[in-house]
Amino acid sequence: MQFTPGPLLSKINFPSDLRKLKKEDLQQVCNELRQYIIDVVSVHGGHFGASLGVVELTTALHYVYNTPDDLLVWDVGHQAYGHKILTGRRDVFPTNRKYGGISGFPKRSESEYDTFGVGHSSTSISAALGMAIASKLKGEDRQHIAIIGDGSFTAGLPFEALQHAGVANANMLIILNDNNMSIDPSVGALKEYLCDITTGKTYNKFRDDVWNVLGKMPKGKFTQSMASKIEAGLKGVVNKKSNLFEAFGMRYFGPVDGHNILKLVETLRDLSKIPGPKILHINTVKGKGYDLAEQDQTLWHAPGLFDKSTGKIEKKIFDLPQPPKYQDVFGHTIIELAKANKKVMGITPAMPSGCSLKYMIAEMPDRAFDVGICEQHAVTVSAGLATQGMRVFCNIYSSFMQRAYDQVIHDVAIQKLPVVLCLDRGGLVGDDGPTHHGCYDIAYMRCIPNMIVAAPMNEKELRDMMYTAQLDEQQLPFTIRYPRGEGVMPEWRTAFEKQTIGKGRLIADGKDICILSFGHVGNFAITASNDLAQKNISACHYDMRYCKPIDEEILHSVAKLFDKIITIEDGTVMGGFGSAVLEFFNNHGYNKTITMLGIPDRLVEHGKPAELHRECGYDVQGIFETACVLMGLGKEKVTANKLELN
């Protein structure tokens, strides 16, 4: 399908083209840019509301600043679609997030205008500060602009960067894009503070009046000095709360209407002449320009495909009941457990919709909390609750848990606190790509002393693991990792059964080859085993359930019965489940042929999960081909993880 940009946008191949236009043309550019995003995303999918909300800001930034020499650093990056369109990627924008297409996030290898690769929140100020310090050392005269949302500001990293920026005195501008949203509504005291600033216009109007008067006086050092002192005094008298950012040594400006393109251009031009660290507070509406996206900002963060005229979101219609998403199994199961056990609590860092803790937050608001984009805090507050006997399910995406690793070790594992760490999006997540793939959690969790590491093969196992983890007799940290997307059981509300920690189960008996699977990918192995039977290959299959502690009884049995063994995991083969099996065999002197299938030791780009599983060689076809080669039925060597199987 062809997408036709508007008459002005069609002539903008790079920001240099944009800067040739008159200011009076910029609103039309914004209208055309917004419409182009709607046209493409409605057909091809992707993040939606965030990019619509910063159309005017994006246009103003590239109009005022000499990009790419002046450096723009986007936070998270799902709001950078307009930026991509204006910086040479308009015609390839329909390939956004598709296999082999452009990334859904800024990416340095993709464009010189993408100054810093992002995908996780709260990194922009630190990155821009590093660039500004480097420019200062090299004697380069350039601007450094970090664009960060109020949701991202709730993390600790921006405040660490602010306290450094104030003393570094580097030339940088922080634009605080305040829309009261991340994916879900922003939470916490900072949200309330920003709301106070936005609604408390007394100081800002008074300050503007004073500067207007002073501006008519003869210019000189005395006037500038006097103006600064008067401004500082006003902040203490009229609105003491405005001192938060300035306490960090940042000059504060705003709030400004983030959808007034001419005002933004004027403001940015003025600020570009002021040296040193400064912050511009703008107010925007997530989903601006598309009514439905403005009204339900969480739903329209990334709605999938939709009819742009009616707003009807496409949904697949099935004749038979379908399996639920793993996240929803978690969300409903924790409520069941909490009703039976008053000690059960839920914590998530800003992902109540993504991990489905939203159901418990709505039903039990005193026992389930969204703590904002604060993964470190989420883990440690869970640990604090656990010291008082609470059974806390701390739900964090696998890739985001990487940000709280020290807390997992220092605050949970060393103290043997029975926090249940539910890692959603374990494995290759698809279109979001390498910043969001949950590749490493099996490896980084199983090396921690006192840690239990489990992965369910289906919905029932997830429920049973959650049930087992919250029992009083279970007194160790417990990690449960599961993938993005649907399970395999339409009838999933099964009765709870206590699992024996560290015990796997036999799925199918066989005599020729053994498959050891960990997690949901065991379902791929079931299909592959059936296909192998058509080749007269009898495959034994164990669902191991736990990689720490690992089922040694099963492994001893496998070592005695099989010479050819395949391990399968939706995680990195370096240090993961397959490595655990290899370590066991080595430690017990077993000399067997073990082929590990999983995520290779390289970055896997974006694409549909099925496309990425195929690329990495651990989908049904990859398992089948690997087994055939091991059994001598393949004429050519199969490649898995881009390494030859031997």
Write out the catalytic residue numbers: 286, 375, 403
Q: Which residues, 6 or more positions from 398, have their beta carbon under 8 angstroms from its beta carbon?
A: 423, 424, 425, 426, 427, 438, 439, 440, 441, 481
Which residue, among 605, 593, 597, 610, has the nearest Cα to 638 in the 3D structure? 597
Contact status, residue 426 vs residue 401, Cβ threshold 8 Å: no
- For the record, the structure tokens of 331 come out as 């969300």
Between the CA of residue 500 and those of 159, 201, 333, 399, 468, what are the distances in Å? 44, 61, 19, 28, 8
Cβ neighbourhood burial of 400 (10 Å; 0-12, 13-18, 19+): buried
* Nearest of 93, 119, 97 to residue 108 by alpha carbon: 119
Instruction: Name the nearest CA neighbour of 327 among 503, 492, 527, 102.
Output: 492
Whether residue 364 contacts residue 338, with contact meaning beta carbons closer than 8 Å, is answered with yes
First and final CA of the chain: distance in angstroms? 45
Q: How many CA atoms lie within 13 A of 328 on its CB side?
A: 11
- For 369, the token pair is 């909390």
Is residue 638 within 8 Å of 646, Cβ to Cβ? Answer: no
Distance CA 540, CA 526 (A): 10
Cis previous bond, 68, omega within 30: yes
Write out the two tokens for 364: 């039990």
Q: Alpha helix locations (H) across 55-201?
A: 55-64, 81-84, 124-138, 156-168, 189-199
Based on the number of CB atoms within 10 Å of its own CB, is 442 exposed (0-12), middle (13-18) or buried (19 or more)?
Answer: buried
Tokens 């040739």, located at residue: 20
Residue 399 in contact with residue 370, Cβ under 8 Å? Answer: no
Task: List beta partners, residue 531.
Answer: none
Q: How far apart are CA 460 and CA 482, in angstroms?
A: 12
Spatial distance between the Cα atoms of 643 and 575, rounded to a whole number of angstroms: 16
